[in-house]
């Protein structure tokens, strides 16, 4: 399949010298002005990694502060820290992570296209991301923001003493980045599929990014308008959300969650996509119930728009609204459960190997199941009244977003690393990191369920002494977790220079992206591939490697 190759050392697979990393030149300028989706994906990966570490540093300080009941920092510093953590993690890591890095890199490869539909728009969206990121960092440097990532009014619009308008502007700008990426993916998926790549032959990864893009395009404008209204109220003192000026504080929450609940699916659906690629590959079996997995993504994307008020059960919505939104939240839990069952069933009668990506994927299934099940707890009206705004909710969404989504991100990173870089990483270290992350994660977040039920409220820099024991466990877990997250940084970095050559298809996987060389050439495929089979046609024993 690959052309223009030279040999590596005799025992190593051959590597393409003509690849996207070298073809357009290696100058900074050639990178900053690139229109190649793969290079833009690399730019995103670098910047998103940076923000992941910024958000992670804030998390470490938060856990450090909570080791003692009295707290270590002043309340204002603590409030700025969790706001920083939330804003960075939600908008600069979770939402863009998988779509903008792996989606950008893989969607064209997976559907047999040369690039995304709008390469320039793609580059623009990266610049928006970076610009917004620096704006947010600037707001933090000159003083910070203390509203929490949810910007609840009228606190944010009139009472906060932080740089709220700057932070709002940053989130506003990154919203445009999301919209542009979403549009690009939608058009690409519709228009650029290779001959024979019918909708039901699309890998689930493409489907889930497609569903995500639809949410991005439809929901993000609502967020943008909402944030703009907060800025208007703050700057001009026009009454929109503050009742003292004739506004309605709950209006903000309705608008905000109308975006932000679907947004939690923006965060998790691409993760579903990654897991649906990894599990069949390492179980050597077709994905169980492919169509059900696809349609459950679409269903989640749609119902995701109708459950926003489950964040407001104690905010003063009517009794009937509570009853309806709770029921809908239970409905949306069903398609999520379907996926878990399907991945598990895929293992049945497989030929399972436990390489690092698979360890991350199995970790994902376990943690997502716990996160999803506790979603049933918080979607339950009477139960939510007791635990909302406590650490129970914090644990719930961290199980989904950190245990689930970040595991999927790391799993995907390891799975496609050989494709992106042409190198393999040291497998042993990768497995150690996966296990550390799994144990560290549970030690960090499981105690928080208990803390929440006991009544420890979120966003407290200081708490009653009887909560201390569980907080110490949680902080201890966080340090294990931090080591787990830092490890890949080192061994992946090492592999860039010293890693073994990967060859085009080290996992003997079936997707189109594995049929071109690693790293792929700038135009992806020498000849546009023709697709004749559905995805995931794995056989029990790996096929001989395709070189």
Partner 1 sequence: MQLLPPTASAHAADMDWLFAALIGTSAFILLLVFGLMIGFCVRYRKGSKVERGNRLGRTWRVETAWTVATFIGFLGLYFWGADLYVGIHSPPKDATDIYVVGKQWMWKIEHPGGQREIDTLHVPVGKPVRLVLTSQDVIHDFAIPAFRVRQDAVPGRYEALWFTPTKVGEYRLFCAEFCGTWHARMGGSVVVMEPSDFQRWLDSQDPGPSLAQEGEALFRSYGCSGCHGTASTVHAPKLEGLFGRPVPLQDGRTVIADDRYIRDSILKPKSEIAAGYPPVMPSFAGQIGEDDLLKLVAYIKSLADKTAENSQTGQSAGQSQAGSSAGSAERPAQ
Closer Cβ to ligand HEM, 457 or 526, answer by number: 457
Residues 6+ apart with CB under 8 A from 159: none
Binding residue for partner 1 (CB under 8 A) from 125, 388, 471, 504? Answer: 388
Q: What is the DSSP letter of 390?
A: B
Q: What is the 3-state secondary structure (H, E, C) of 444-483?
A: HHHHHHHHHHHCCECCCCCCCHHHHHHHHHHHHHHHHHHH
User: Does 71 participate in binding partner 1 (rule CB under 8 A)?
Assistant: yes
Contact of 344 with 273, CB cutoff 8 Å: no
Span between the terminal Cα atoms of the chain, in Å: 7
- For residue 46, the minimal CB distance to ligand HEM (Å) is 25
Closer Cβ to ligand HEM, 150 or 342, answer by number: 150
E-only strand ranges, 231-283: none
Choose the one of partner 1, ligand HEM, none that binds residue 539, judging by a C-beta under 5 to 8 angstroms depending on kind. none
What the block records as the tokens of 40 is 């833009």
Taking CA atoms, 100 is separated from 30, 45, 137, 382, 415, in Å, by 20, 8, 20, 39, 16
Interacting residue ranges for ligand HEM, rule: CB under 6 A = 150, 264, 267-268, 310-311, 329, 333, 336, 372, 375-376, 378-379, 384, 388, 393, 397, 400-401
Per-residue binding string, partner 1, 288-307, x by CB under 8 A, is xx--x---------------
Contact of 409 with 98, CB cutoff 8 Å: yes
Binding residue for partner 1 (CB under 8 A) from 53, 305, 306, 330? Answer: 330
- Characterize the bridge pairing of strands 15-16 and 5-6: antiparallel
Choose the one of partner 1, ligand HEM, none that binds residue 393, judging by a C-beta under 5 to 8 angstroms depending on kind. ligand HEM
User: Does 446 participate in binding partner 1 (rule CB under 8 A)?
Assistant: no
Binding residue for partner 1 (CB under 8 A) from 136, 274, 283, 430? Answer: 283
- For residue 464, the minimal CB distance to partner 1 (Å) is 6
What the block records as the tokens of 356 is 């690092």
DSSP class per residue in 495-515? HHHHSPB--S-TT---SGGGG
User: Does 260 participate in binding partner 1 (rule CB under 8 A)?
Assistant: no
**Rounded Cα gap, residues 313 and 417, in angstroms:** 43
Closer Cβ to ligand HEM, 150 or 297, answer by number: 150
Choose the one of ligand HEM, partner 1, none that binds residue 470, judging by a C-beta under 5 to 8 angstroms depending on kind. partner 1
> Which one of 102-110, 189-197, 462-470, 492-500 is the stretch in contact with partner 1 (CB under 8 A)?
462-470
Contact of 109 with 504, CB cutoff 8 Å: no
| CA–centroid distance for 531 within its chain | 29
Closer Cβ to ligand HEM, 78 or 536, answer by number: 78
Binding residue for partner 1 (CB under 8 A) from 143, 195, 464, 493? Answer: 464
Choose the one of partner 1, ligand HEM, none that binds residue 243, judging by a C-beta under 5 to 8 angstroms depending on kind. partner 1
User: Does 131 participate in binding partner 1 (rule CB under 8 A)?
Assistant: no
Cα atoms in the 13 Å half-sphere on the side-chain side of 73: 18
User: Does 463 participate in binding partner 1 (rule CB under 8 A)?
Assistant: yes
Window 482-541: residues binding partner 1 (CB under 8 A): 540
Closer Cβ to ligand HEM, 392 or 507, answer by number: 392
- For residue 93, the minimal CB distance to partner 1 (Å) is 21
């Amino acid at each position: 399949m690959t052309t223009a190759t030279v040999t590596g050392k005799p025992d190593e697979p051959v590597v393409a010298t003509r690849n996207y990393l070298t073809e357009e030149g290696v100058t900074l300028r050639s990178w900053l002005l690139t229109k190649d989706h793969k290079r833009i994906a690399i730019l995103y990966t670098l910047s998103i990694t940076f923000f992941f570490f910024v958000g992670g540093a804030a998390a470490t300080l938060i856990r450090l502060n909570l080791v003692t009941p009295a707290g270590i920092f002043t309340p204002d510093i603590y409030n700025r820290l969790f706001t920083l953590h939330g804003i960075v993690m939600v908008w600069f890591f979770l939402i863009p992570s998988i779509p903008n890095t792996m989606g950008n890199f893989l969607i064209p490869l997976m559907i047999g296209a040369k690039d995304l539909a709008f390469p320039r728009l793609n580059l623009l969206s990266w610049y928006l991301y970076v610009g917004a990121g620096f704006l947010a960092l600037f707001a933090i440097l000159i003083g910070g923001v203390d509203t929490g990532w949810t910007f609840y009014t009228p606190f944010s619009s009139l009472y906060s003493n932080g740089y709220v308008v700057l932070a709002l502007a940053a989130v506003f700008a990154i919203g445009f980045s999301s919209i542009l990426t979403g549009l690009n993916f939608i058009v690409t998926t519709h228009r650029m599929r290779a001959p024979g790549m019918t909708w039901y032959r699309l890998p689930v990864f493409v489907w889930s990014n497609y569903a995500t893009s639809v949410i991005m395009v439809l929901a993000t404008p609502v967020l943008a308008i909402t944030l703009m209204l907060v800025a208007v109220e703050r700057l001009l003192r026009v009454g929109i959300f503050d009742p003292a000026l004739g506004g309605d504080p709950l209006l903000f929450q309705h608008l905000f969650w109308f975006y932000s609940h679907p947004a939690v699916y923006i965060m998790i659906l691409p993760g579903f996509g990654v897991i649906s690629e990894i599990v069949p590959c390492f179980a050597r079996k077709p994905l169980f119930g492919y169509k059900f997995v696809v349609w459950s993504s679409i269903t989640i994307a749609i119902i995701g728009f109708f459950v926003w008020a489950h964040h407001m059960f104690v905010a003063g919505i009517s009794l009937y609204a509570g009853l309806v939104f709770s029921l809908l939240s239970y409905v949306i839990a069903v398609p999520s459960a379907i996926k878990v069952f399907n991945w598990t069933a895929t293992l049945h009668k497989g030929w399972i190997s436990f390489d690092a990506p698979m360890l991350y994927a199995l970790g994902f299934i376990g943690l997502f199941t716990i996160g999803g099940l506790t979603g049933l707890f918080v979607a339950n009206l009477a139960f939510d009244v007791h635990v909302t705004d406590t650490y129970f909710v914090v644990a719930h969404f961290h199980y989904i977003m950190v245990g689930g989504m970040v595991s999927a991100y790391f799993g995907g990173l390891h799975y496609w690393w050989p494709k992106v870089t042409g190198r393999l990483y040291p497998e042993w270290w990768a497995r150690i990191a996966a296990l550390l992350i799994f144990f560290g994660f549970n030690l960090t977040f499981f105690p928080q369920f208990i803390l929440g039920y006991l009544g420890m409220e979120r966003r407290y820099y200081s708490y009653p002494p009887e909560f201390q024991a569980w907080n110490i466990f949680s902080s201890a877990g966080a340090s294990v977790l931090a080591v787990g997250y830092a490890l890949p940084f080192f061994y992946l970095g090492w592999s860039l220079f010293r890693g073994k050559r990967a060859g085009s298809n080290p996992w003997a996987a079936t997707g189109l992206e594995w049929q071109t060389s690693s790293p792929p050439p700038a135009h992806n495929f020498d000849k546009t591939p023709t697709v004749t089979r559905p995805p995931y046609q794995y056989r029990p024993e790996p096929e001989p490697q395709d070189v």
